[in-house]
Amino acid sequence: MRRTSRGGSRFLCFLINLLLNLEWTIPAWIALALHHFLHISIWWFWGALALWVMATLLSTLLFSALVTAGSEPTPPKENKNPYSKKNSDYLKK
Between CA 40 and CA 48 the distance in angstroms is 14
Task: Check: CB of residue 71 under 8 Å from CB of residue 28.
Answer: no
Task: Give the chain's end-to-end CA distance (angstroms, integer).
Answer: 42
27-85 per-position pLDDT tens digit: 999 999 999 999 999 999 999 999 999 999 999 999 888 877 766 777 888 877 777 76
Angstrom distance (rounded) from CA 70 to CA 59: 17
Query: Taking 80 as the threshold, does the pLDDT of residue 87 lie above it?
Result: no
Spatial contact of 52 and 24, defined as CB atoms under 8 Å apart: yes
- For the chain, the domains span 10-69
Q: Which residue has the higher pLDDT, 69 or 26?
A: 26
The one-letter amino acid code at 80 reads K
pLDDT at 7 over 70: no
- The pTM for the full model equals 0.65
